[in-house]
Homo-oligomer: A and B are copies of this chain.
């Protein structure tokens, strides 16, 4: 399972490094998550310059792709030369958007009529792109998921592990990164948010 975590200049560290740290806990099952960027180096929203592990085009061949958010998502969403380098396919890839990364999923036409999660600052732009935004930390339909709020990046990663490696593997990875003494509550809470039935309940209007 090769995972491309897309990091652009101004990227939010939570969006990229929470999934990177979690997904690579499944290295023994053949998972490898790497930062993919349009240039050799990118600088995070808080000024940390990182070396890209992969070119942007790695996303096209990866088994799963995560769009992290960042300071310049709106500019990237309007940069068709950049987005044209991406040819993703939900029939063979799991695809996730985190925070303002959801805007890029919208622009690439990957959301269809699926409601989506994003952060409050990005919401107007996602709505303008024709997508219904819900006030929830996580939503998935089939192979596409979105999450909103920095710490929700863990949900996106957990969903990907659940889909790609099963509940036991996802629970193990989460347990390895849980606060000491809080493992069971932490694992249960995260899996409850991203499990198919629970996610459906959460997004269903009250009373339906």
Which chain A residues have a beta carbon within 8 Å of chain B's beta carbons? 12-14, 17-18, 20-21, 24, 33-35, 41, 46-51, 53, 117-120, 135-138, 147-152, 154-155, 176-183, 186
On chain B, the residues within 8 Å of A148 by CB distance are 179-180
When C-beta atoms are compared, the residue in chain B nearest to A118 turns out to be B180
On chain B, the residues within 8 Å of A138 by CB distance are 179
Which of A21, A147, A176 has the largest number of chain B CB atoms within 10 A? A21
Whether A21 lies near B179 (C-beta < 8 A) is no
Majority-rule SS of A interface residues: mixed
On chain B, the residues within 8 Å of A155 by CB distance are 179
> Can you spell out 27 A-B residue pairs with CB atoms less than 8 angstroms apart?
A13-B17, A14-B18, A17-B17, A17-B48, A20-B48, A34-B47, A41-B51, A47-B53, A48-B50, A48-B51, A50-B50, A117-B180, A120-B180, A135-B180, A136-B180, A137-B179, A137-B180, A137-B181, A138-B179, A147-B179, A148-B180, A149-B181, A149-B182, A149-B183, A150-B177, A151-B177, A151-B179
On chain B, the residues within 8 Å of A46 by CB distance are 20-21, 24, 33
A151 contact from B24, B47, B136, B178, Cβ within 8 A = B178
On chain B, the residues within 8 Å of A180 by CB distance are 117-120, 135-137, 148-149, 152
Chain B nearest CB, measured from A115 CB (Å): 13
Whether B137 lies near A149 (C-beta < 8 A) is no
Whether B48 lies near A49 (C-beta < 8 A) is no
